[in-house]
Chains A and B, each alone.
Chain A
Amino acid sequence: MKVRLKAFARFREVMGSEQDLEVPEGTSLKGVLVLAAEGSDKAREALFSGDDLKEYVVLMRNRKRVVRADADREILSDGDEVAVFPPVAGG
């Protein structure tokens, strides 16, 4: 299935703004990030501490927040849009 991954702010700088990934059925939100970080030490360093997502990583699936602790239980569907970004700082 296809999943679109968007990254913003300093994560965009190391991962690119958008990529379409072909992932196996049953892939979790965290699984997509693991795949996306595979080819890039900088992306892995930005997102992960060991096997865990860093605590400042904020996640969305189809423009709705997903709590980081649920990222490996959040199973994606074909056509989903996943977003990953650091804490927001608008206003």
Chain B
Amino acid sequence: MITITRDDVDIAAEIEAAKRDTTGAVVTFLGTVRDDGIEALEIEAYEDASLPEMQRIEQEAIVKFNLQSVNIIHRVGSLRIRDNILLIVVSGGHRQEAFAGCEYILERIKQSVPIWKKEVRKDGSIWVEEEHPQE
């Protein structure tokens, strides 16, 4: 399940929902707003393109790592220090595939999903530069 939302996330509920009778591991990644001298972090998404791209990533990860469930929630809007930005919850039969699958999803999101961050500072605002080649 893929969600882009302005609202905060109920992490415990998402973890519980990831469990199956055959689940041996639930791995969670939670990205949060770090205090780099910023006042806020504004997150913008091209939702019509981000949702299908994250669905592709979800399906890739399920097949590649034999995952039982994948849940990705990316927040948009103006966030404060310590706020949750991105939650990825994956479940699998064993920890190795769950860890690897969760990391794969995170790196793929950073690489290709059209979402941007703008740091709001006292002396102005700057867009965060990406770390991945785009083409």
B115 at the A/B interface (Cβ < 8 Å)?
yes
CA distance A67 to B135 in the complex (A): 7
B134 at the A/B interface (Cβ < 8 Å)?
yes
A83 at the A/B interface (Cβ < 8 Å)?
yes
Shortest C-beta distance, A24 to chain B (Å), equals 26
Q: Are A89 and B115 in contact (CB under 8 A)?
A: yes
Q: Are B46 and A89 in contact (CB under 8 A)?
A: no
B94 at the A/B interface (Cβ < 8 Å)?
no
Q: Are B135 and A88 in contact (CB under 8 A)?
A: no
Residue of B nearest to A67 (CB): B135
Shortest C-beta distance, B35 to chain A (Å), equals 18
Q: How many B residues, CB 8 Å from partner? A: 30
Q: Are B113 and A88 in contact (CB under 8 A)?
A: yes
Shortest C-beta distance, A83 to chain B (Å), equals 6
Residue of A nearest to B43 (CB): A90
Q: Are B116 and A90 in contact (CB under 8 A)?
A: yes
Residue of A nearest to B114 (CB): A88
Q: Are A10 and B110 in contact (CB under 8 A)?
A: no
* B residues neighboring A (CB under 8 Å): 31, 43-46, 48-50, 52, 74, 85-86, 106, 109-118, 127-130, 132, 134-135
